[in-house]
Structure 1
C-alpha cells in the first residue's frame, strides 16, 4: 500500500497542532499556579511592584526547571529501559 502524501501532511499538521495545544495548556497551568502563589488577594494590582514581579519570575523559572528535570529524567529512564 503506497503512502498518501496528503495523509502524511495531515498527520504532521495534526501533530504540530497537538503540540501547540499542549504548550498552551502548560502556559495556562503555569500562569494559574504562579498567580495563586504571587497574588494573594486574587486581584490584579494597578502596578506590579518589585516583590510581586520577582515572585512571578522565580515561580515561572522554578516550574520550568521542574518540567525540564522531569523530561530529562523520563528520557534517561527510556534510554536505560527502566520502568516507573
Structure 2
C-alpha cells in the first residue's frame, strides 16, 4: 500500500533528517578533532594525567577548532541570508 505524507508531515520529516545529519556531521567533526589533537599533543604514552604541555596543547587545539567552526558557521549563515545558498 502506497501512502503519501501530507505537507506538514513531509516538512517535519525533512527537519528531523536535517537535524540528524547535522548531529552526524558534528560527531564526525568531534572524532576528527580528537584524532588530530591527540596525535599533535600527546607525545608519549599517557599516564594517569596529561603533562602541563600536553594539557596546554590540547586546550589550544580545541580552542582553534572551535574558533574555526564558529567562523565557518557565521560565513554559511551570511551566505544563506544573502541568498547564496538554496
Q: Tell me the TM-score normalized by structure 1.
A: 0.72
Superposition RMSD in Å = 2.4
Q: How does 1:23-42 map to 2 (within 5 A)?
A: 23-41=26-44
Structure 1 residues 16 and 53: CA distance shift in structure 2, 3 A: same
Q: Paired residue for 2:3?
A: none
The normalised TM-score by structure 2 is: 0.70
Count the aligned residue pairs.
Answer: 78
Mapped partners of 2:77, 2:16: distance in 1 = 25
For structure 1, list consecutive stretches of 5 or more residues without a partner in the other structure: none
Point out where structure 2 has 5 or more consecutive residues left out of the alignment: 1-5
Task: Choose which of 2, 6, 9 in structure 2 pairs with 1:6.
Answer: 9
Runs of at least 4 residues of structure 1 off by over 3 A? 69-76
What's the secondary structure of 2:50's corresponding residue?
coil
Question: How far off its partner does 1:47 sit?
Answer: 1.4
How many Å separate the matches in 1 of 2:14 and 2:71?
A: 29
Could you tell me which residue of structure 2 aligns to residue 45 of structure 1? 47
